[in-house]
Structure 1
Amino acid sequence: MAEFSDESQKNIAGRIAVQISPSYYVVVGNKSLEMLTDALTEACRSGFHVLSKGGTAVDAVEKTISYLEDLNYFNCGFGSLLNNDEEIECDAMIMDGTTLNTGAVMAADCLKNPVQLARKIMEKTIHTAIAGAGVEKVAKTLDHPTFTNDELKHPETAAFKLKYEELPDFLKKHLGVWDSVSAVAMDKHGHFACASSTGGLPGRLKGRLSEACTVGCGGYANEYGAATAGGYGEAVRKMTLARQVVFNMESGQDAQNSVKNAVEKMKERLPKSGFGSAIAIDRYGNISIHSTTSIIWSTIAGEEELCGARIKPKRNQQHA
């Protein structure tokens, strides 16, 4: 958990936070925890640089997530994990808390930076989400680059293959580690935004949608604050977890209590599958993170930069 509430730093250059569950660290295993933490910190710095130059919260979260989508370290964008048909399908969303405008791409099989097309959908169409085969057509209409599925694959992560029939048993050992990357930001004007991106569960059925592309589940922002959530997508969707965090802030809770209460409520309500994490910034500039699963996070508020990790063992390695 991280929390900032220093009045002297509020709204000077804004604040930003980013999180991911380290799926590649747990399963693929040839990326060190230090390497992943450094990459996440650099992504956060890239978003904060946007804020420090007067950019908007929307600009900052897009930049942060795009940085991570360009790497093959994380399960989003380029090098995402494969579905049951050995294809990449990515989900992403972005939301402007000032206008409540949002854009999303769902089951996109042709994008290196799905969060960037999600923003174009938000700003250049009257729609909020485009799915499946429609993504490529809209991308070309909006002059957004597209790629073949093979061009999106990275040899290292494409070598990890899982079939849908194997997924239930696999999740029992690794529940909560197949996460989205997500970011929340507050700019110097006190405006909020959030964004999220994921390659989805390995071995999932073609067309399965994650929490990352669903407003209110993987992310939500309004005038009270911004929140993103991740973990086991089906559980996060059932609880509309990000919206619950922001609702808690609307009800008078600070970021710390809003995040903790929402995440623990999901675990209590869905004891077999409700494991996940959430990050939030409230309207007073407080940043908070709470997780019941593995997580790596980075936050920047004014001149204060923090990062951390919490790695839970595989379930079959736990003794209690």
Structure 2
Amino acid sequence: MTRLVTRLVATLMAVAASLPAAQAADQPVAIAIHGGAGTISRSQMTAEREKAYLAALQDAVEAGHRILESGGSSLDAVTEAVRLLEDSPLFNAGKGAVFTHDGRNELDAAIMDGATLNAGAVAGLHHVRNPIQLARAVMEKSAHVFMVGDGAEEFALEQGIRLVPRDYFYTEERWQRLQNARERERAALPQTDKFGTVGAVALDRAGNLAAATSTGGLTNKRYGRIGDVPVIGAGTYANNAACAISATGDGEYFIRSVVAYDIAARMMYADAKLEQAATEVIGTKLVDMGGGGGVIGVDRYGNVAMVMNTPGMYRASIDANGQRVVRIFAD
């Protein structure tokens, strides 16, 4: 009898121990990424360049998804996806960052944990190869949320985050666009550069959401201008109660509209679905204000939304059902 009871207890304990793993396996995962929205014209896109963009997007979204599928966290997934986009000269972030009016590169980034509402943001960086890694260090290894400029780079050095010489960010294409902008005496180039940003949102097997965004700002920008990307609630937001959002567009409008948080708030307080909330904010509210751009989002069920009011947005996603999307144009 004693032996039977012992076996029964052991069996029950084994079953109990297996429940979290089984539940984790049932929890869907999802990820979406973007490489910026704007006036992306088919007529100006060569077949070779389009192929390069699609390949870069595919690589980044698959890398993030592999992390999620293996049981990794949403924070790790979005960090890795954004890091890969930062390392590509195709996108206005990291290696491909545009130049300011005085010929420098100024990088901004932010990350947010939907489980804790912890966040980290950085701005005005000149030497950090991967700003998203520094934003995460601010969130996880400091008592602060937002660091800028020299102080942020000093913190990066203390944390062992890789710094690079300024010429690392030089690309001939970005430099020529700055020269064109200077000649025209304009604050910025058309919307292809204006909306350059990269971002990622993800849901992991623990049911946690995360969002990350990174940018090189505006071509020919002046006076230390900072856009929406590192502003928590404007360009980046995550909350397990609703969704994770990463935005790209007219930064000033996204800040004034608190775009990322507004989408989450509509879900939490008006019971809106992700696609509905994103469409209301991007397709109506932002348009009425005169702003352009787009967002990617994922909710706690693994539903994905990629919404824009522009002719295109570099984007890719893998939803809870494993459906893969990699697109550039709106149509």
Identify the range of structure 1 (93-102 vs 298-307) with the bigger mean alpha-carbon deviation: 298-307
User: What one-letter code is carried by the residue in structure 2 that aligns with 1:193?
Assistant: A
Task: Pick from 227, 231, 251 the counterpart of residue 249 of structure 2.
Answer: 231
CA shift in 2, pair 1:29/1:154, >3 Å: farther
Q: 2:38, 2:313 within 8 Å by CA — same for their partners in 1?
A: no
Bigger Rg over Cα:
2
CA shift in 2, pair 1:214/1:137, >3 Å: same
Runs of at least 5 residues in structure 2 that lack an aligned partner in the other structure: 1-23
Cα displacement (A) at 1:134 = 1.2
User: What one-letter code is carried by the residue in structure 1 that aligns with 2:35?
Assistant: I
Aligned partner of 1:265 in structure 2 is 284
Higher helix share: 2
Q: 2:58, 2:326 within 8 Å by CA — same for their partners in 1?
A: yes
Aligned partner of 1:318 in structure 2 is none
Task: Pick from 176, 187, 190 the counterpart of residue 204 of structure 2.
Answer: 187
Alignment of 1:41-120 (within 5 A): 41-120=58-137
Q: Distance in 2 between matches of 1:311 and 1:141?
A: 43
Aligned partner of 2:325 in structure 1 is 306
**How large is the RMSD of aligned CA atoms in angstroms?**
2.5
Q: Distance in 1 between matches of 2:318 and 2:61?
A: 7
Alignment of 1:175-214 (within 5 A): 177-214=194-231
Task: Pick from 267, 288, 292 the counterpart of residue 249 of structure 1.
Answer: 267
Instruction: Spell out, residue by residue over 1:224-254, the C-alpha distance to the aligned partner (whole angstroms, 9 max, x if none).
Output: 2111111111111111111111111112111
Runs of at least 5 residues in structure 1 that lack an aligned partner in the other structure: 1-8, 313-320
Q: Distance in 2 between matches of 1:193 and 1:70?
A: 21
Q: 1:88, 1:109 within 8 Å by CA — same for their partners in 2?
A: yes
User: What one-letter code is carried by the residue in structure 1 that aligns with 2:273?
Assistant: D
User: What one-letter code is carried by the residue in structure 1 that aligns with 2:329?
Assistant: R
Q: 2:195, 2:293 within 8 Å by CA — same for their partners in 1?
A: no
Aligned partner of 2:297 in structure 1 is 280
Cα displacement (A) at 1:267 = 3.0
Aligned with 2:199: secondary structure? strand
Q: Distance in 2 between matches of 1:16 and 1:45?
A: 9
Instruction: Spell out, residue by residue over 1:100-131, the C-alpha distance to the aligned partner (whole angstroms, 9 max, x if none).
Output: 11111101111110000110111000011110
Aligned with 1:278: secondary structure? strand
User: What one-letter code is carried by the residue in structure 2 that aligns with 1:310?
Assistant: F
Cα displacement (A) at 1:290 = 1.0
User: What one-letter code is carried by the residue in structure 1 that aligns with 2:325?
Assistant: L
Q: Distance in 1 between matches of 2:278 and 2:145?
A: 26
| Structure 1 position 35 matched with structure 2 position 52 | yes
Calculate the TM-score normalised by the size of structure 2.
0.84
Q: 1:51, 1:188 within 8 Å by CA — same for their partners in 2?
A: yes
CA shift in 2, pair 1:284/1:152, >3 Å: same
Calculate the TM-score normalised by the size of structure 1.
0.86
User: What one-letter code is carried by the residue in structure 2 that aligns with 1:75?
Assistant: N
Q: 1:164, 1:203 within 8 Å by CA — same for their partners in 2?
A: no
Identify the range of structure 1 (235-244 vs 30-39) with the bigger mean alpha-carbon deviation: 30-39
Q: Distance in 1 between matches of 2:183 and 2:141?
A: 36
Q: Distance in 2 between matches of 1:59 and 1:24?
A: 31
Cα displacement (A) at 1:139 = 0.9
Cα displacement (A) at 1:269 = 3.2
User: What one-letter code is carried by the residue in structure 1 that aligns with 2:286?
Assistant: K
Q: Distance in 1 between matches of 2:219 and 2:45?
A: 15
Instruction: Spell out, residue by residue over 1:29-82, the C-alpha distance to the aligned partner (whole angstroms, 9 max, x if none).
Output: 676122212211210111001101111011000000000001101000013110
Aligned with 2:177: secondary structure? coil
CA shift in 2, pair 1:93/1:164, >3 Å: farther
User: What one-letter code is carried by the residue in structure 1 that aligns with 2:246?
Assistant: T
User: What one-letter code is carried by the residue in structure 1 that aligns with 2:322?
Assistant: E
User: What one-letter code is carried by the residue in structure 1 that aligns with 2:74?
Assistant: A
User: What one-letter code is carried by the residue in structure 2 that aligns with 1:19?
Assistant: H
Cα displacement (A) at 1:11 = 5.5
